[in-house]
Structure 1
Amino acid sequence: MNKEIRWRQRFHNFDKAYGQFHAAILDIDKLSVLEKEGLIQRFEYTFELAWKTLKDYLESKEVIVKFPRDVIKAAFQYEIIKNGEVWMDMLEKRNLIAHTYDEERFKFAVKKIKEEYYEAITQVHSYLDGELE
Structure 2
Amino acid sequence: MDQMNDVRWKQRFENFEKSFKLLEKYSNEPISTELERAGIIHFFETTFELAWKVIKDYLEAEGYAAKSQRESIKQAFQVEIIEDGHLWMDALSKRNLSAHTYDQELAENLVKEIQEKFQPLLRKLYEKFLKEI
Query: TM-score band (shorter)?
Result: over 0.9
Aligned partner letter, 2:13? F
Aligned counterpart, 1:5 = 7
CA distance in 1, matches of 2:69, 2:31: 33
Q: How does 1:84-99 map onto structure 2 within 5 Å?
A: 84-98=85-99
State the shift of 1:70 in Å.
0.5
State the shift of 1:31 in Å.
4.9
Q: Extract unaligned runs of 5+ from structure 2.
A: none
Aligned partner letter, 1:34? L
Aligned partner letter, 2:75? A
In the alignment, is residue 43 of structure 1 matched against residue 66 of structure 2? no
Aligned counterpart, 2:120 = 119
Question: Which runs of at least 4 in structure 1 moved beyond 4 Å after TM superposition?
Answer: none
Deviation string 1:33-57 (CA, Å, 9 cap, x unpaired) is: 3112101000000000000000001
Aligned counterpart, 2:17 = 15
State the shift of 1:96 in Å.
1.7
Aligned partner letter, 2:7? I
Whose RCO is larger (CA < 8 A, sep 6+)?
2
CA distance in 2, matches of 1:30, 1:109: 12
Go from structure 1 to structure 2 and tell me whether the alpha carbon gap of 1:114 and 1:100 turns closer, same or farther (over 3 Å shift). farther
Taking only aligned residues, the RMSD between alpha carbons, in angstroms, comes to 1.3
CA distance in 2, matches of 1:41, 1:71: 22
State the shift of 1:94 in Å.
1.3
CA distance in 2, matches of 1:126, 1:87: 16
Aligned partner letter, 2:80? E
Partner of 2:102: helix, strand, or coil?
A: coil
In the alignment, is residue 25 of structure 1 matched against residue 27 of structure 2? yes
